[in-house]
Structures are given as structure tokens and as C-alpha cells.
Amino acid sequence: MGNGVCSRKQKKIFQSLLLVTVVFGVIYGGMFSYEMHKQLKRTEDMAVKYQQHQESLSAQLQVVYEHRSRLEKSLQKERLEHKKSKDDYLGYKIEAQQSLNQEKNQHDELKKQYYELQEQHQLQEDEHNKALDEHKQRLDQLHQTKESEISNNTLASVN
């Protein structure tokens, strides 16, 4: 009998210990579950926060891509305008160079004509002066002849 009572006592102690262990296990499980639930909630909050951040970054990246696309189009347009301006400038430069060369050639031709005319003028001036001198000499000679005739006529009429 003693064995049975001890065994009952031990059984009760064992049951009590088992009950305490189960209660502590349930409490521990509840606390563990509560902590896991809190951790899960924090993780979900962080996931939402990161998702929002990712969406924000995606939106910013989209804006950057659009801006880059506009800049590339603008750059392409500027390059085309620059090329057109450069071509226009080169055309103008060639035209101006041709015009300058033509004006230079015309100037050289006019200069040549001027020197030829100046030389011709000088020759004609020399011929004119020579003819003038010859006429002057003939006139002087005619005057002398006339004076000598007049003086001869005056002497002859006086005689």
C-alpha cells in the first residue's frame, strides 16, 4: 500500500509538474507566438515601407529616363541645327571667298587699266607738250618773219 500511495503522490507531483510544464509551455508558446506576431507585423511594416520606397524610386527613375529621353532628343535637334548652321556657314564662306576673289580680280584688272591709261596719258601729254613746243617755235618763227617783213616794209617805205 505504501508503494501505491507513494506512487500516487509521485503521480500527483508528476502530474503537477507536467501541468506546470504545460502551463509554462503554453505561456511560453503564447509569448513566442506574440513575439513572432510582433516581428511579423514589423517585417510587414518594413516591407510596406520598402515597397513604397521602391515605388518612389521607380517613379523617380521613370522621371529621370523621361528627362534623359527629352535631353537626347534636344541634343539630337541641337546637333542637326549645328550641322545645318555649319553647312550654311561653309556655303556662305565659299560664296564670300568667291565674291572676294572676283572683286580682287576686278580690282587687279582695273588697276592694270589705270596704269595703262596713266601711261597712255603720259605719252599723250609728252606728245602734246612736244607739239605745243613745235607750234610755239613756229609761231615765234612766224612772228619773227612777220616782224622782219614789217621792218623791211617800213624801211622800204621810208626809203
Residue 143: inside a domain: no
Distance CA 25, CA 149 (A): 176
Identify the sign of the CA torsion 148, 154, 157, 159: negative
Residue 154: inside a domain: no
Residue 63: inside a domain: yes
pTM: 0.46
Distance CA 157, CA 159 (A): 5
Distance CA 36, CA 46 (A): 15
* Predicted pLDDT of residue 159: 64
| The C-alpha cell that represents 85 in the structure block | 548652321
Distance CA 77, CA 87 (A): 15
* Predicted pLDDT of residue 3: 56
Residue 125: inside a domain: no
Q: How many domains does the chain have?
A: 1
Domain that holds residue 24: 1-120
Residue 150: inside a domain: no
Residue 137: inside a domain: no
Residue 146: inside a domain: no
Tell me: the pLDDT tens digits for 23-53? 999 999 999 999 999 999 999 999 999 999 9
* Predicted pLDDT of residue 101: 97
Distance CA 27, CA 118 (A): 130
| The C-alpha cell that represents 4 in the structure block | 501505491
* Predicted pLDDT of residue 61: 97
* Predicted pLDDT of residue 1: 42
Residue 96: inside a domain: yes
pLDDT in tens, the chain (159 residues): 455 556 777 888 888 888 999 999 999 999 999 999 999 999 999 999 999 999 999 999 999 999 999 999 999 999 999 999 999 999 999 999 999 999 999 999 999 999 999 999 999 999 999 999 999 999 999 999 988 888 888 777 776
